Structures are given as structure tokens and as C-alpha cells.
A = this chain, B = another copy of it.
């Protein structure tokens, strides 16, 4: 007799044990995001940032821009709708980069429509460490908050406060639909 625990059994009106199940393998539709998927997406973002810096050093703006476009296409959710993106160094009146053009300009600059952008990803980044303070996963959505530490070629480390929001898309991939990055507040 198969031994199983169930809510109904727990209700304690059973004194018998006279039921069994011969099971088949169930079809499962489970779109819940795992913590491993979230962390993989975070690491991939860091890899991408360093890659763009490397590509800029090796191949100039054209190579860097091509990589940045591929990253934005693969990792962000601009195909779903406006992305809730507030880059670290974006200033009013172009604070929020809800379009892929705005995201690309932020990462690689060289866009006359975004005159304040100098290309954040071009600054010679060599390493990215993500230090999560909390992760919240609800079904096919996930949110993270914490510090991200970015190292440049001199070894100097920049720390930002960063939030990411992810959505699993119809192909099963996580996409960044929210990205709020800010410089740490200092009372001084």
C-alpha cells in the first residue's frame, strides 16, 4: 500500500488504509522561476558588461555596439513592452530608458539623441560581483535587490545599489523588465 500524506488524511477521519494509486508520469506546466535561473541571469549581465568593455578595447565602437545590441536583445524585455530601466548615470529629462534605443545609448553612447550618454559599458570594466540583499520569486516573475561591485582596469571598484526584475517569456527565457540602478546615498 502506497504511503502518502494528504490534507484530507490529516483531517483525521480515517481509520482505514484501503486506497492505492497506480500513477503515470504527469504532464507539468510549471513556469515558476528558480533561484538558479535568477543568479544565472545576474551573472550573465555581468559577463555582458565586461564583454562590451573588452570588445570596445579590441574592436572599437562598432564591435562594442554590436555586442551591446545582442545583449539587449537577448537579456532585456523590450519585445514585451517598455522596460522599467533607470540606469545609474542617466539624468533628467532622459532618466528612464523605456526603449531599446535608450538602453543602447546608455551602454555605448555615440547617439546624438542621447547627448548625456558617454557609454557606461565602454569604461574598461573587468569584473562584476553581485551581492544580493534579497530575492523575491513569484511564479514566472522575479525581483532582486542588492549591491553590484564593478571593477575597472585600474582595480578601482564602483559599488551601486541595483534592482532587477525578471519575467519568463513565452519561449521560457528570463528577461529583464525592470532595472533600477543608483549611486549609494551618503549623508556627507
Which A positions have Cβ atoms within 8 angstroms of B?
Answer: 2, 4-9, 11, 13-32, 35-51, 54, 67, 70-71, 74-75, 80-86, 88-92, 95-96, 98, 116, 126-147, 161, 163, 165, 167, 170-171, 173-174, 177-178, 180, 182-187
Contact = CB atoms under 8 A, between A and B. Distances in A.
Contact of A9 (B47, B92, B130): B47
A127 B18 CA distance: 5
B145 A27 contact: no
A80 B14 contact: no
Given A7-B174, A139-B141, A161-B180, 13 more contacts: A4-B36, A7-B40, A7-B41, A13-B48, A22-B131, A25-B35, A26-B135, A82-B136, A88-B185, A89-B185, A141-B141, A143-B178, A161-B182
